[in-house]
Amino acid sequence: MKIACVFLLVALVPLASSRLHINNGHFVLNGQRVFLSGGNLPWMSYGYDFGDGQWQRNKDRIEPQFKKLHEAGGNSMRFWIHMQGETTPAFNDQGFVIGPDKQGTMLDDMKDMLDTAKKYNILVFPCLWNAAVNQDSHNRLNGLIKDPHKLQSYLDKALKPMVNHVKGHPALGGWDLMNEPEGMMIPDVHNESSCYDTTALKNSGAGWAEKKYLYKDMLRFFNWQAAAIKTTDSGALVTMGVWNPKSNTDHFNMNNHYSDFCLRKAGGRQKGVFDFYQFHSYSWQGKWDEVAPFTHKASDYGLHKPIVVGEFWEQDGGGMDIIEMFKYVYNNGYAGAWSWHLVQRGDNQRKGIAAIKDKTSNGKIPISL
């Protein structure tokens, strides 16, 4: 009996260490600290890449992007999945989710996408939803954010089955719940709780797509999804991409709306928190704002979790070229850099990825899955 127990422990150790996880504030894979270097491949056909047989039509265009990223020295990629519910998940006429997709290919699409990424040693971070534009003509995403019963239908009928189907896959880096929720947040709302008060976001640009949501509803949306993922897969990492650090720090006279406290306050589910944060950063009229990652070290935000700079590009790079941008992120304590985006400007961005591929001081970049 003792021999069997010892064997079991030895067998489990490699499995735990071979999956991306966080230890002492750093990403770790196969026992080594790693820096996430890569880019966004948000879509080939917006909202039509996965589910209902769509992946098989897009795979031949997407697989070369994995290969190019690997050859440039990158190790990770961010994908977009549902967007605003254009094709997935499957909804009924009342706005309740009835499955991952209509034709039943979504689960295997996700698995095959991860298998393909693994061939090239690329970690994938699926991004579920998008709030940077308002194309929710059927009010599907709106229903999930505002109606807890509809949200629970998504968790039960789509999210948990998806997570369970790819649970523990070595190419699954983590789950990204939404792209830039601030696009639809209502700024300048006073609330006694700093979690819900958006007065600090007045004239910040928040609400550019449409002023639709209060933080109380949006934070519940995140808390419940994160809890569902971690309940289904205890080793999963969860994040979300903010348009600007202004909504994700208590420094610089701002409020961190995405703290563990705020997420739990809004949704009540203990496991529903983020494992790492993700900042997006673009200059305006050639200049960075006062909280931009490219003018600060990661430690300046006081967050005590890894921070990935999840979107940036040379076009709005505050005068920096792509190589300077990748080097800045690597050298200033951030945990990862994902440029925007690999289809439109991949040749340019792969130059930045290649420029840091051999660095080791803030984590190694080449990985083996």
Instruction: Specify the CATH number of the domain 34-356.
Output: 3.20.20.80
* Tokens 């769509």 -> residue: 54
Reported as a pLDDT band with limits 50, 70 and 90, residue 6 is very low
At 18 the pLDDT is 82
pLDDT in tens, 155-198: 999 999 999 999 999 999 999 999 999 999 999 999 999 999 99
Answer yes or no: 311 catalytic. Answer: yes
Reported as a pLDDT band with limits 50, 70 and 90, residue 17 is low
Which range has the worst mean pLDDT, 7-16, 74-83, 96-105, 223-232?
A: 7-16
Average pLDDT, the chain: 95
User: Are 101 and 86 spatial neighbours (Cβ–Cβ below 8 Å)?
Assistant: no
List 180, 182, 192, 290, catalytic entry: 180
pLDDT in tens, 344-362: 999 999 999 999 999 999 9
**Tokens, residue 269:** 């589910």
**Sign of CA pseudo-dihedral 120, 121, 126, 131:** negative
User: Are 120 and 69 spatial neighbours (Cβ–Cβ below 8 Å)?
Assistant: yes
At 16 the pLDDT is 53
By the 10 Å C-beta count (0-12 exposed, 13-18 middle, 19+ buried), 15 is classed as exposed
Task: Tell me the whole-structure pTM to 2 decimals.
Answer: 0.95
Alpha carbon distance 57, 223 (integer Å): 34
3-state secondary structure 99-116: ECCCCCCHHHHHHHHHHH
**Tokens, residue 124:** 């994938």
User: Are 187 and 243 spatial neighbours (Cβ–Cβ below 8 Å)?
Assistant: no
Question: Rg for the chain (alpha carbons), in Å?
Answer: 20
At 14 the pLDDT is 39
User: Are 263 and 272 spatial neighbours (Cβ–Cβ below 8 Å)?
Assistant: yes
Domain ranges of the chain: 34-356
List 86, 210, 311, 314, catalytic entry: 311
DSSP readout, 245-272? GGGB-SSTT--BTTSHHHHHHHH--TT-
Backbone φ, ψ for residue 195 (5° rounding): -65, -35
State mean pLDDT over 69-90.
Answer: 97
- pLDDT of residue 72 exceeding 70, the answer is yes
Answer yes or no: 182 catalytic. Answer: no
At 29 the pLDDT is 98
